[in-house]
Chains A and B, each alone.
Chain A
Amino acid sequence: MLKNLSIIFILSSRNVLRNPRRSILTLLAISFGLAGTIVVSSLARGLSYNLAKDTIDHLTGHIQIHAENYLEDPDVSNSISEIPPKLEKVMKSPQILKKAERVRVPGIVMSERESYGVMIVGINPKEELGLSFIAESVNEGKFFDHDSDDGIIIGRKLLELLQTDIGKRVVVMSQDVKNEISDKGVRIIGVFDSQFESTEKSFVFLSIKKAQGLLGLDAKISEISLVTKDYENLEPTLSNLQSSAPNLDVRGWRDIEKFVSALLDIQGKFLIFWFCIVVIAISFGIVNTLFMAIYERIREFGMLQALGMKPIEIQFQVLIESLLLILIGGFIGNILSVIGIHLLESGIDISAFAEGAKRFGIKNVIYPRFVSHDWITANLLVLFLGSLSSFYPAWRASRFTPANAISRAT
């Protein structure tokens, strides 16, 4: 049978060309379907990529290290008093690009008129640069120069809520290591903007040395945030860090930002489900076209059988015919999707939904993001389900009995 593949292939390919209009319509259906799915999924991925990136840039980083109980109970008593030398060494490995040490405890900020609960973050300005958003988000006043600078940097929304202004003083209050409330008046030296309103409302920044002073922490810190080479593949780095610091809580960003992580997972599942649905819809079109193509050729199939072609060879002929359509359609579809993604490269503006987007921490512009495994999944599904759906018409084509097929009126 295999020796006849070449002649079967010739027959199939010429039959594809035989009714160019129908073949073109089918190719259009396959290619637009595939391109549509890939482009739409790239937008969805773009959305979630932004979300993941913003989450990481926010203050999370790729990996965070805390004292054992800090995440459940973010209190000064759960601080890292000493970085184990082993961990120090691992953190210097080339896998880790950036590192920032922070003090991070809940507290209160009071102006003359109002008071609000906030997260007080003590930072080293040099370490935050390029790791978190804060270094580049101070749009009024100035950012810290050194890790022992005086002053406080607060969000624009909080500034508004406190009815105060840059240059004015506010009181920062928190519980210190002795379990007593410790407070301190500080001058507002900078105001930062964030795409998340909640961030502007609930984070204030001190220099790390001043924060440690306020809380009586000495040189202790609350967290270490790390940026690695690849945020999607943290496992090796993570386990390396974990084994070097068995008494500390080392977690990846997905483990810390569970909501974002869940959103990304669900989206992945939804997209695969979505691909299946679209490809099934495309398959209906393929089956319909194939049926049309074989029903108008019943006599021909009869004749081919009379000449000695076996039923299985007829099946092969129809299958190859559909495979050719799928492959060509898929090829065009991929080209179209590249063009589509390219056209959308400047982004889609969704500012009409800005408030809703803010709730999810989504930017106002969505950029498509090409994800190779989505692309592979979509292509494989078209190939697999498309071919699978061709089996029925192919089987039908081989079942015309030659005598009936030939004597059939046209």
Chain B
Amino acid sequence: MKNNTLQENKLEANVRCKDVSKIYRQGDIEVHALRRISIEIQDGSFVSLSGPSGSGKTTLLNLIGGLDRPTSGEIYLSNLRIDTLSSSELAQVRLDNIGFIFQAYNLIPVLSARENVEFVMQLQGVNAAERKERAYEILNAVGLNGLENRRPGELSGGQQQRVAVARAIVSNPEIVLADEPTANLDSKTAKNLLEIMLSMCKERKVTFIFSTHDKLVMEYAERLIKLHDGEIVSDE
């Protein structure tokens, strides 16, 4: 497999977007989701992308995560250009370097909490004993000990999101991309979740990039990038 080279040289988490545009077509109408965005995100940062709906924050997140391809421009993870890779190669990049946390429907419903966490490791080919050990460890770290064998349907929203965080972290990715991770949570649960993510970010030197309009998330963020109509309006 040619992806082996990627696996061997883990990337420096240095996200770089260069003149990235994304245009969706809806019938005859062109929607400019992103207009020539250039941005760099350093290793180990806790970044929030915010802006009103339709501002392009989710699109940008998807592009960085290789879930979608830009209409024009270049995207680099460290020094690897990802916008030109095949979908299979992208899958490998995501598997090795990126963790995802979504707003909802985050977990595989037919797998238990532990199996969800083990899932990515399984795809990576980690052996069973190590998988199990790491899964227990990380679930313990996010405060879910005792609930390892429950299915997502048997967990509360906050617990589900913690499983998602655990799963995103467990494979030691360079970047975790989180799309509105707190949207369905009450503020106390959300705060708890953010604490966990921040500590993971610092302990493990993982870059967290959020797309959010939750004030709470922005409070926690070290860097606030605001988007409007597909353009960056502020970066602080």
Write the residues of chain A forming the contact surface with B, with a CB cutoff of 8 angstroms.
3-4, 6-7, 10-11, 14-15, 17-18, 299-300, 302-313, 401-404, 406-407, 410
Contact = CB atoms under 8 A, between A and B. Distances in A.
Interface residues of B, number: 31
Contact of B105 (A4, A299, A402): A299
B111 A11 contact: yes
A289 B62 CA distance: 31
30 contacts: A3-B125, A4-B125, A7-B122, A11-B108, A11-B110, A14-B111, A18-B109, A18-B110, A300-B109, A302-B67, A303-B102, A303-B108, A305-B94, A306-B65, A306-B102, A307-B94, A308-B92, A308-B94, A308-B98, A309-B91, A309-B95, A311-B87, A311-B88, A313-B123, A401-B87, A402-B62, A402-B68, A403-B67, A406-B102, A410-B105
Nearest to A13: B110
B100 interface: yes
A187 B96 CA distance: 101
B119 interface: yes
A299 B104 CA distance: 10
Interface string B82-96: 000001100110111
A5 B109 CA distance: 19
A304 B108 contact: yes
A301 to B, nearest CB: 10
Nearest to A408: B105
A303 B109 contact: no
- Which of the listed residues B58, B91, B111 has the most CB atoms from chain A within 10 Å of its own CB? B91
Contacts of B91: 305, 308-311
A312 B123 CA distance: 13
B20 to A, nearest CB: 14
Contact of B95 (A7, A303, A308): A308
A10 B111 contact: yes
B120 interface: yes
Given A7-B122, A15-B110, A401-B67, A310 B92 contact: yes
A312 B1 CA distance: 14
B45 to A, nearest CB: 21
A17 B167 CA distance: 24
Nearest to A306: B100
B123 A308 contact: yes
Nearest to A314: B91
Given A402-B67, A403-B67, A306 B94 contact: yes
B230 to A, nearest CB: 16
A329 to B, nearest CB: 20
A406 B123 contact: no
Contacts of A406: 67, 102, 105, 179
B172 interface: no
B138 to A, nearest CB: 15
B108 A300 contact: yes
B48 to A, nearest CB: 19
A307 B111 contact: no
Contact of A303 (B92, B106, B110, B123): B106
Nearest to B3: A310
Interface in B126-144: none
Contacts of B100: 303, 306-307
